[in-house]
């Protein structure tokens, strides 16, 4: 398919072609790239080759330190860009393949690149859209009969997070300190979180936005979804438990959120679409859409402690278990007239499946700390320890190729002394 050889097990096949922002030691300027195999195609070098009717007047979007300007152009421009990149990388196209000088400047080995946040994230919203996860957590705290709150099956529940602490994969995460109340008969105490957790999530970037007061209808929602990334929404459960009533998550969530650096275009994921979850009761009309917008994305979480030779897989699940779709999330987010902008990040919430090995948080895997998570070699966890490295991976499996996301990783640093 491409003149660049790609291993069948590579996340970055010719069918993928995700966008990211990278720099190199010999060129520290941040710029737009597309991943193909173990290479990066530097779009700032070849931007003059985007000669289609839409992008010929906007070639400069590929010479920017973020993807926001490209995202803002809208879905037709995204399609034109993808078609151009596919053509340039095709085994049958000679413009790039046969120009040795151009190839030497335009192709960078991924091992020589430093990845950065792909966009300037103005706003970040986190949803709570996995029924299995919501049921598990509700059962822990309220009992099986009241696991789901009355609104959960009626609308995509969410909260506004902190965009400033969203970081790119491999950025260390500092253990947070805060107020906790481990003994309900005594006053709260202050100190480092003892129940530091992960949340296996996915998220999508908003492309074209909407005007304040003008909702995005469900029929048009897909036109505003640029692409997807993996996410780890680190969570301090003991801080969260004491603070969240009555206004929801605050310091237990906003100290760090990690995303993978490559944004997978929705066009690359559409071949892996599956029927949406059966929603009962039926959502209100503004949230209904018959077209499949649930995706078969294999997901896993591994954990490697400081004294462990190898990482242990602690979760295997799939994005297809989501109850509320991304289209429903975006439509509900804007139904009151809230305006979203290019580069805004909307996350799925923890992705859990029906089986214990598919639970997407340590809160669930250890069932609120009541049982150990076996990592092998005598190592166990209930929650994270300092030095633990957590890596999330995800991919769609095609016939002899993958559409993958690359790793979403972070390591826990000790809390600062107060």
Residues serving a catalytic function are 133
Residue with tokens 């580069």: 343
DSSP string, 358-418: G--SHHHHTTTTTSPEEEETTEEESS--TT-EEEEEEEEE-SS-EEE---EEEEEEPPPP-
Length of the chain: 418
First-to-last alpha carbon distance for the chain, in angstroms, is 57
What distance in Å separates the CA atoms of residue 31 and residue 19, rounded to the nearest whole number?
Answer: 10
Q: Give how far the C-alpha of residue 72 lies from the chain's centroid of Cα atoms, to the nearest Å.
A: 19
Contact (Cβ atoms closer than 8 angstroms) between residue 384 and residue 147? no
Q: What six digits make up the tokens of 203?
A: 């998220």
72-75-81-82 Cα dihedral, nearest 10 degrees: 130
Q: Give how far the C-alpha of residue 235 lies from the chain's centroid of Cα atoms, to the nearest Å.
A: 16
Contact (Cβ atoms closer than 8 angstroms) between residue 82 and residue 267? yes
């Amino acid at each position: 398919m491409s003149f660049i050889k790609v291993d069948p097990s590579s996340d970055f096949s010719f069918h993928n072609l995700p966008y990211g922002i990278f720099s190199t030691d010999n060129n520290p300027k941040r710029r737009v790239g597309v991943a193909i195999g173990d290479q990066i195609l530097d779009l700032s070098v070849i931007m003059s080759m985007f000669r289609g009717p839409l992008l010929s007047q906007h070639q400069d979007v590929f010479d920017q330190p973020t993807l926001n300007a490209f995202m803002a152009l809208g879905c037709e421009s995204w399609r034109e860009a993808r078609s151009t990149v596919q053509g340039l990388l095709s085994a049958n196209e000679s413009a790039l393949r046969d120009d040795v000088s151009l190839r030497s400047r335009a192709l960078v080995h991924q091992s020589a690149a430093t990845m950065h946040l792909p966009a300037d994230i103005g706003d970040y919203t986190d949803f709570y859209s996995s029924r299995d996860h919501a049921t598990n957590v509700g059962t822990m705290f309220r009992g099986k009969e009241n696991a789901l709150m009355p609104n959960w099956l009626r609308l995509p529940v969410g909260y506004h997070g902190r965009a400033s602490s969203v970081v790119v994969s491999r950025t260390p995460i500092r253990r947070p300190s805060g107020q906790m109340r481990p003994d309900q008969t005594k006053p709260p105490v202050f100190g480092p979180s003892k129940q530091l957790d992960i949340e296996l999530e996915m998220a999508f970037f908003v492309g074209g936005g909407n005007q304040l007061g003008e909702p995005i209808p469900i029929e048009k929602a897909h036109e505003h979804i640029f692409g997807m990334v993996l996410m780890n929404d680190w969570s301090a459960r003991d801080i969260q438990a004491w603070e969240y009533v009555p206004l929801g998550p605050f310091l237990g969530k906003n100290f760090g959120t990690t995303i993978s650096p490559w944004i997978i275009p929705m066009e690359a994921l559409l071949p892996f679409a599956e029927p949406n979850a059966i929603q009962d009761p039926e959502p209100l009309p503004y949230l209904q859409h018959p077209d499949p917008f649930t995706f078969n994305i294999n997901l896993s979480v591994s954990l490697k402690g400081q004294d462990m030779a190898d990482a242990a897989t602690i979760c295997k699940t799939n994005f297809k278990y989501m109850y509320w779709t991304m289209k429903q999330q975006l439509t509900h987010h804007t139904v009151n007239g809230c305006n979203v902008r290019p580069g805004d990040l909307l996350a799925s919430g923890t992705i859990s499946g029906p089986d214990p090995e598919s639970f997407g948080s340590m809160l669930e895997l250890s069932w609120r700390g009541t049982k150990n998570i076996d990592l092998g070699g005598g190592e166990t966890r209930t929650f994270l320890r300092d030095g633990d490295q957590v890596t999330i991976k995800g991919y769609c499996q095609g016939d002899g190729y993958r559409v993958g996301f690359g790793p979403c990783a972070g390591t826990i640093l000790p809390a600062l002394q107060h």
